Structure 1
Amino acid sequence: MARFLIVVLPVASHLNAPLAIGQALQAAGHEVAWCGPRSDLRPLIGPDATLYPTGKRYFRNGGDTGMASVRSLWEGHVLPVNRFIRDAADQAVAHYRPDVAVVDQYAMAGALAAHRHGVPWATFCVGTLELTPPARELPEFDEWVRSQLTRVWALTDLPVDETIDLRFSPYLVIGLTSTALTGTTPLPARCVLTGPALGHRPDAPAFAWDAWDPARRHVLVTVGTMAEHLARDFFQRILAATAPLADRVQVVLTASADVLPDPPAHVLVAPRVPVLELMPHLDAVVSHGGLGTVTEALAHGVPVVVAPIRHDHPMVARQVTDAGAGIEVSFGSATPAELTAALTAVLDEPGHRAQARRVGESFAAAGGAVAAARHLAALAGGHIDHCPTGTATLA
């Protein structure tokens, strides 16, 4: 059996997939240690799991879109957080000596630590921004991001190796989607698509099932964990859009009580919900376009109304609409009437649900967390000679 070190970012939305992969590795008999924020990880991995804490650095994104949002992501989060976790990641690799490091695509300090200590690493991609870059919408994206990678290399005294793109391991890249969404878009070398990694979530909150109306259809509305401060007006438009449907639709909306202090009777508001527990009972999801939420819905055959905000959200929205599994609307300007029309379409037109089920079937065939664990075990057991290794000290 092999030893794996999973390096995560201190961002709640980036934890579900590696948690599921870690569970699958342990179920197969492997040892798993973690490097990431203690406050987020310990409730998920339990008191006995090996944890190398990084501390936590918060990031609150603004309302930028396009390349402005990409620059904000890298300059405001990716680069600072990698400097923040670099020492902890290096110490974790040096002390634990894993057979394979499993690294969040943006936790490149983990990749550098593995590279520095001669340990093969695998990248897992929780989004699509880098995996299927927006060449049409943002033609300058790739060149600009590559210029930022030299700043990540500068976290050690290793010379920049232009043959290694730190976003994509030269050993194994795990994409949490399938070709039913990515289509024929070229993918990085040594990339496998496993579909979403879904597992047990020990921190899933309780849900007020006594308020659930089985006579109505159900819609989950969520903008993820990092955009609620941008969504007040969108939520108000959703309330107006669902008012004409209130006799047949019940809405579950994830938001803090101060955002929607007095919701109408057909809307249940909660700061968090047990998403995977709800999915089999839902008829539609309204999402900001985060890959995690969208693929969780499609894995259960639930069609999606996507209101993209920034980063990879527009690409995810386009992939969903190209697959016929949902409808895209404007987060900033869709009118209540337009939102009503989109919701009515995904609820009442059978084609969207049929295509959502087709995408979900492709996820099941790809294998999810179990397939990801199998690929990682193969990497741990194989002879790797195609990636240069070196030693360095931290800058």
Structure 2
Amino acid sequence: MDRTARGVKFLLVVPPLAGHVAPLRGVASVLSARGHSVAWCGPCPELSTLVSGHVFPAGDSGPFAVALRPPGLRGFAALKYLWESYLVPLADAMVPGVLAAVAAFSPDVVVVDQQAMAGALVASRCGLPWATSASTSTELADPLGALPKIASWVGELQSGLRARHGVLLGDLRFSPHLVLAFTTRALAGAPRLAVPVAYVGPVLPASPGEWSLGDDRPLVVVTLGTSNASAGSRFLAESVDALAGMPSVQGLVVDPSGALVSESVGLARRIPQPAVFARASVVVCHGGHNTVCEALAAGVPLVVAPIRDDQSMLAQQVVTASAGVRLRFDRAKAADIRTAIESAGRHRPGATRIRQSFEAAGGPEEAATHLESLA
């Protein structure tokens, strides 16, 4: 399709999760600026707080909220909870609302987040072209390829979904038409999928403000995101101890709980990450996709201490790309964190290469162009 064509309707089906919605907000803005109509569909009222514009309600995420997951779950237990208690029931709950949105809005293209499989079910059932929004890159690497029993179990859960909703489509996580990957090959590696994948790079938010540094020493930032405050209290405390023993650097630890106290290490409940990372020499984090990409977009090497879900694979991507080092979250002591910070600085060339790949990928403009081609 000619990118100047007007009047195409795009329906964006998403879960009520900020990290999954964020990249599509930028894409929606570009599509609207090009003269297309864009509407959102997902659980309300949560989704309405994350996006602007027309929102079609689909399901109630309350009973299936990821936030209800016990914080101590790791490995297969965490994956089992994610699929059985969140992804599958959320898909079942959203299907009627997505069907109603398609009937009311008559979209030409449906864009489906990987964790909102109701969009894939409805698009397939209605014969509409659809694209997958892969807000994180880990599924592209087939993380269950070496775990055939778990892969079979996931396949059976999807088979049940398809049977309940009268769909013959294959893997609901990957559109046969287009997968938008909000990363680059330089970080994620080559895909292991038999579907078209467009690497458009991360869509990063504009920095909401500035951040004043205390002095001219190199800045080391430690953040585990706002959703890991309870699980990360021990790690954050060890990080404060580690940075207190490094007088040559400025330490800044993000502590959402406000429980930590230190005379020599900076503490904050929240920070404007893009603004702060632009001034940092090393970022220590849990491996959340947005945090990893925001740091690498600034060319800052990482220390990644993955907690669960896709974070372990993202940590491995960072290590493979020579953009940082990995640390054991559950076992790391102050001395281990200090050693990792000191060694991470040597990976700045790798982080710079990833930054350059992000800049060349095209971002939301490139993603919008690929979506236009489906109409």
Same fold (TM over 0.5): yes
Q: Which amino acid aligns with 1:24?
A: V
Q: Which amino acid aligns with 2:277?
A: M
Amino acid at match of 2:74: T
For 1:59, give the aligned amino acid.
V
Structure 1 position 153, deviation (Å):
1.7
Structure 1, 121-130 or 304-313: larger mean CA deviation: 121-130
Whether 1:17 and 2:23 are equivalent positions in the alignment is yes
CA distance in 1, matches of 2:272, 2:164: 38
Contact 1:59-1:77 within 8 A present in 2 as well:
yes
- 1:251 Cα offset (Å): 0.8
- Report the counterpart of residue 170 of structure 2 in structure 1: 164
**Alpha-carbon separation, structure 1, partners of 2:173 and 2:254:** 34
8 Å contact from structure 1 (residues 100, 120) kept in 2 = yes
Contact between 1:173 and 1:188, CA under 8 Å: does it hold in 2? no
- 1:366 deviates by 1.6
Alpha carbons of structure 1 residues 151 and 227: separation in structure 2 relative to 1, 3 Å: farther
Contact preservation (8 Å) 1:86, 1:155: no
**Greater RCO between the two (CA within 8 Å, min separation 6)?**
1
Q: 1:297 aligns with which of 289, 295, 303?
A: 295
Give 2:157's aligned residue.
Answer: 148
Cα distance per residue 1:58-85 (max 9 Å; x no partner) = 2233322222221111112111222232
Report if the CA contact (8 A) 2:224-2:254 is conserved: no
Residues 91, 220 of structure 1: alpha-carbon distance in 2 compared, 3 angstrom cutoff: farther
For residues 251-272 of structure 1, give each alpha carbon's deviation from its aligned partner in whole angstroms, at most 9, with x where no partner exists. 1415232xx25344422221x3
Tell me the equivalent position of 1:50.
54
Who is 1:385 aligned against?
none
Matches within 5 A, 1:211-290: 212-246=213-247, 248-257=249-258, 260-270=259-269, 272-290=270-288
C-alpha displacement at 1:117, in angstroms?
Answer: 2.1
- Residue of 349, 356, 359 corresponding to 1:354: 349
Number of matched residues?
A: 364
Q: Does 1:66 pair with 2:64?
A: no
**Aligned residue identity for 1:6:** L
* Greater displacement, 90-99 / 56-65: 56-65
Counterpart code for 1:189: V
- How far the C-alpha of 1:136 sits from its partner, in A, is 6.8
Q: How far did residue 141 of structure 1 move?
A: 3.5
CA distance in 2, matches of 1:219, 1:319: 21
| Structure-2 change in CA distance of 1:242 and 1:135 (3 Å) | same
Assess if the C-alpha contact under 8 Å between 1:23 and 1:199 holds in 2.
Answer: no
> How far does the alpha carbon of each residue in 1:148-203 deviate from its partner, in whole angstroms, 9 at most, with x for none?
111322442x14x2x521110111111111111222452341111111122458xx
Distance 1:225 1:113, change over 3 A: farther
Counterparts of 1:1-395 in structure 2 under 5 Å?
1=6, 2-46=8-52, 49-54=53-58, 55-57=60-62, 58-60=65-67, 61=69, 62-135=71-144, 138-156=147-165, 158-159=166-167, 161=168, 163-200=169-206, 209=211, 212-246=213-247, 248-257=249-258, 260-270=259-269, 272-347=270-345, 349=346, 352-380=347-375
Distance 2:260 2:334 in 1: 20
Letter in 2 for 1:306: V
How far did 1:220 drift?
2.8
Closer/same/farther in 2, CA of residues 33 and 254 from structure 1, 3 Å limit: farther
Query: Where does structure 1 lack aligned partners over 5 or more consecutive residues?
Result: 381-395
* Distance change >3 Å, CA 329–CA 136, structure 1 → 2: farther
Measure how far apart 1:101 and its partner are: 0.8
> 1:290/1:114 Cα in 2 relative to 1: closer, same or farther (>3 Å)?
same
Query: What is the CA-CA distance between 1:126 and the residue it aligns to?
Result: 1.5
Query: What RMSD in Å do the two structures reach over aligned CA positions?
Result: 2.2
Distance in 2 (alpha carbons) for counterparts of 1:367 and 1:275: 22
Question: Any conservation in 1 of the 2:237–2:260 contact (CA below 8 Å)?
Answer: no
Looking at structure 2, the residues matched to 298 and 74 of structure 1 have their Cα atoms a distance apart, in angstroms, of 30
What is the TM-score when the length of structure 2 is the normalising length? 0.89
Q: Distance in 2 between matches of 1:134 and 1:353?
A: 27
What residue identity is the alignment partner of 1:215? D
- Offset of residue 244 of structure 1: 1.1
Task: Go from structure 1 to structure 2 and tell me whether the alpha carbon gap of 1:141 and 1:295 turns closer, same or farther (over 3 Å shift).
Answer: farther
Residue ranges of structure 2 left out of the alignment (5+ in a row): 1-5
Q: CA deviation at 1:361?
A: 1.0
For normalisation by structure 1, the TM-score amounts to 0.85
Q: Is the 8 A contact 1:178 1:363 kept in 2?
A: yes
Q: Contact 1:308–1:330 (CA<8 Å) still a contact in 2?
A: yes
CA distance in 2, matches of 1:227, 1:113: 34
